[in-house]
Amino acid sequence: MSLLFNKMEATSQIENLMIAANVNTVINGLDYNRSLNLIAYAAANLVLILDPQAIHASIPKVLFSLRGHTDRVNAVQWITDKALVTISSDRSIIIWECQESPRNPQSWTHKVIPDAHANAINYLRAMCSGGTLKLWQGLNVESIAYKDELLFGKNLQETMGLIPYGEKHLLMAVGGYDMNIHIYLIPRIPFQGGKTFKYKFSLLGHMNAIRAFAFTESVGADVRYMASCSQDTYIRLWKIQPLENLSAGMGGHQDLKQYESKTSFILLDEDEPKVYNITLESVLSHHQDSVSSIQWGSTIQNPLSLNDFCLLSSSFDFTVCIWKADEETSVWSVESTLGAMQGNKHAYFGAQFLSDDHEILAYTFNGAMHQWKQVEGRWLPQLTVKGHFGEVSDLEWDQHHANLISCSQDQTTRLYSKYGADKGWFEIGRPQVHGYDMNTVACLPVQSSVNMPSRILSGGDEKVLRLFETPYSFVKVFNQLNPDASSIQLRFHETKSNEEIEQMIGSEVKKQPLGLMNKPVLVLANQNQRVDDEEGGGIGPDFDPNKILSNTKDKADEIIEDLAEPPVEDTLMSKTLWPEQQKLYGHAFEVFCIATSHRGDCAASASKAKEKKYADIIIWDLSKGQTSVPSCKLAAHNLTVVQLEFSKCDQYLLSCSRDRSWALFKRNAPDLLQFTILKKVKDAHTRIIWGISWSHDDAFFATASREKQKSVKVWLGKSSEHIGELFSELPEENPSATAIRFLPTLHKGTLYGLVVGLETGDLLFWLYNDSGKMWTKVYQVPVYYSHCDAVRRIKFNERYATEDGSYVVATCSNDHSVRLFKVTI
């Protein structure tokens, strides 16, 4: 490596602009560290560290990710102020510890306990799907080791709780599918010698599987309270206190039998001087479905009785509740109920108090986080981090490079944009919520003298492509939140101002009952509504594109009001869908990839194929307004076409396939939509070709393959008479490449560059040294900013590329995350 490239690698810098991903659909997938004011949550195989006040007092940001597990993370929990434990379906336990600043990713270290269980570990402290509970103990992180285990077999236990008991023991409560709360004593490390687990008794009462426990701190004379929740919809409160507290009020009698009943149990041990009593204190009933989590909070700093506590619960009935005991009667009741009362509702999997118990963070079945803050007695929604909860299959920048659109196997298409000058990137729209897994998305430029927003063309596990147009609500939100509104002020209509549109529109979109997509309600001059109800989308037959959308008959609350910050989850789900303009029929199987021309006159698409006759590429004529038709079909491949890309000049179309070949097509004439195959290279690689990319000047194109050696190859482009001939190969440092992208400009005006995404999630930057005729790796994205699974797509934002070698790059991966970085090399 030359001195020049050594210097580049040493001076390369990276800034995390956005990491977007939702919480895994698991219980205990999120935990809050009050002393650090940090949130750790599980996302695919990763643990993400979220600062709820990273940028400003109320603006959150994911700081970095902790990568170590090889399968889904099933639970996270802070065990000390600076130590975090995670468990996974890969059967391992990882203990993460920060040595210095917890917000510095380089200060984190971890200890892996591989094969901690024979089956996937589903519950912390630590329970596997095979019904085995294992105990791990240590005086510090380094000394933590396996101690003992309990076998429950088919009576799967899914929650545990530990509190100090007496001088020598810990009390462990275990609950699960047998509906009982099993009480064990565990000797503390200095007093271990005999049995590790001492079974005492089981608390009866719940009528379905137990989901969670919560314990208060010690109150008064060594008194604690335990809350248990269950799938039977009830919460039970138990009082744990020394027997002497009861006997003092009964003349000092210590006859244990008189304190035993169906709801009162005596807890004693020969090694402990005190005898304890556990009594059912109350049964709370309000939820209509399984209660998924509970947590104690306090209304005062040093609570003296049970009435000084409040209780937070979340449920599958779509609600989060705050419970409080009446000061006079001590009867517990719901003080506040939060959650979606109507519309798109999702079961809550967990909820926690933040900071001073006047903020609540909860997450739902789809991993979406909901946050509320109590202001003058009212709980108000707050801005949270959003993202996908399934594999992210594709992403694309719009024509203005102001918005980033991604699609996922979670059946949604999401749109991210910048919020303010320095407040980060957030999801501001959810154009499509579909009934199929989404495979591909592309932006269709709109040629206009004003800044018209791009349209979206998407494809999923169905035979149809869907074209979406921008609703006025998105234009309004973007202009309000966009820091560069003076230079990129989007216009909804080419000839009429946004203010004129605002006055004319009552509500331009109407949400589907099932939330699949929007019906555009289009009212013409004669005020006759034209809505195509077929599959809930499309446009009326008499649609006149020169008329203005209007629908004053819809409710006024369908319009998004002026926003001071990005929309919250409820708004994203219900009011940011885009109306479907048309469907494109032509494929026999599920659509797998789409590409649009830079001028917006056509699109290319391909579907999944196991035979040559189904592997055709369809060229769509998008220049005919509201009716897009196939212009031609291109046959070149024998199996599924994986990716398509038009050259920057729009005269060439490049494709790659599972059959390990790539094909190059050329327009028959600059303004025609007929293409002819120019060249095809069979067996261009020895494994499937996952990615292709044109250079900024179309002088080269690159291919990325899954093979272990020579996985990235560069081929001559349009500027050579030997177009399509092999030019060079990257060194054998890119095993199993899954995505590739040329730098958007010559690096510092002289060098071509490539970014390669690997199956492992790593991202590598390469520059071409023309004098040495070789490619050299100049930078690798640090592990704490990298993906942990196959990189699916890499896209540069050309608007932010600078001459000094600074680039903004977006990536997506099978690890559920969309990432945005600023890299200087």
Contact by Cβ (8 Å): 498, 486:
no
pLDDT at 61: 95
Please choose, from the candidates 697, 617, 698, 614, the residue with its C-alpha nearest in 3D space to the C-alpha of residue 665.
617
pLDDT at 443: 96
Task: Sketch the domain layout of the chain as residue ranges.
Answer: 496-574
Assigned token pair, 147: 């101690």
User: Rounded to whole angstroms, how far apart are CA atoms 74 and 65?
Assistant: 16
E-assigned strands of 21-115? Answer: 30-33, 38-43, 46-56, 59-67, 73-80, 83-88, 93-98, 108-113
Contact by Cβ (8 Å): 47, 66:
yes
pLDDT at 129: 61
pLDDT at 515: 40
**CB 544: neighbour CB atoms within 10 A?**
12
SS3 assignment, position 636: coil
Report the number of secondary-structure helices (H) and strands (E) in the chain.
Answer: 5, 61
User: Rounded to whole angstroms, how far apart are CA atoms 249 and 567?
Assistant: 57
DSSP string for 147-196: EEEEE-TTS-EEEEEEEEETTTEEEEEEEETT--EEEEEEE-GGG-SS-S
**Residue appearing with tokens 């945005």:** 820
pLDDT at 546: 35
Three-point CA angle 441, 370, 564, nearest 5°: 75
Residue type, 594: I
Paired residues of 76 in beta bridges: 86
Q: What is the 3-state secondary structure (H, E, C) of 216-240?
A: CCCECCCEEEEEEEECCCEEEEEEE
Assigned token pair, 803: 């001459």
pLDDT at 246: 60
Quote the DSSP letter at residue 27.
Answer: T
Contact by Cβ (8 Å): 478, 417:
yes
User: Do you know the residue count of the chain?
Assistant: 825
Beta-strand pair 210-215/108-113: unpaired
Contact by Cβ (8 Å): 792, 799:
no
Q: What is the 3-state secondary structure (H, E, C) of 569-606?
A: HHHHHHHCCCEEEEEEECCCCCEEEEEECCCCCEEEEE
Q: Which residues of 520-542 are buried (b: 16+ CB within 10 A; e: fewer)?
A: bbbbeeeeeebbbeeebbbbbee
pLDDT at 750: 85
User: Rounded to whole angstroms, how far apart are CA atoms 344 and 514?
Assistant: 8
pLDDT at 719: 77
User: Rounded to whole angstroms, how far apart are CA atoms 605 and 589?
Assistant: 12
User: Rounded to whole angstroms, how far apart are CA atoms 755 and 592?
Assistant: 23
Please choose, from the candidates 454, 576, 456, the residue with its C-alpha nearest in 3D space to the C-alpha of residue 515.
576
SS3 assignment, position 164: strand
**Which parts of the chain have pLDDT scores under 50?**
1-5, 7, 123-124, 126, 250-253, 507-557
User: Rounded to whole angstroms, how far apart are CA atoms 278 and 260?
Assistant: 9
User: Rounded to whole angstroms, how far apart are CA atoms 157 and 102?
Assistant: 33
Rounded alpha-carbon distances, angstroms, from residue 161 to 157, 169, 182, 267: 12, 14, 11, 16
Paired residues of 210 in beta bridges: 230
- Half-sphere exposure of 706 toward its Cβ, with a 13 Å CA cutoff? 15
pLDDT at 255: 64
SS3 assignment, position 368: coil
Quote the DSSP letter at residue 287.
Answer: -
pLDDT at 188: 82
Quote the DSSP letter at residue 561.
Answer: P
Q: What is the 3-state secondary structure (H, E, C) of 749-774?
A: CCECEEEEEECCCCEEEEEEECCCCE
Structural element, H or E, at residue 312: strand 309-315
Contact by Cβ (8 Å): 303, 216:
yes
Please choose, from the candidates 812, 804, 794, 645, the residue with its C-alpha nearest in 3D space to the C-alpha of residue 717.
645
Please choose, from the candidates 224, 222, 226, the residue with its C-alpha nearest in 3D space to the C-alpha of residue 235.
226
**Residue appearing with tokens 């926690």:** 352
Please choose, from the candidates 257, 258, 212, 221, the residue with its C-alpha nearest in 3D space to the C-alpha of residue 239.
221
Contact by Cβ (8 Å): 170, 211:
no
Paired residues of 654 in beta bridges: 645, 664
Residue pLDDT, tens place only, 330-373 = 899 999 999 876 656 789 999 999 987 899 999 999 999 999 99
Rounded alpha-carbon distances, angstroms, from residue 667 to 54, 550, 677, 678: 50, 40, 9, 10
pLDDT at 289: 95
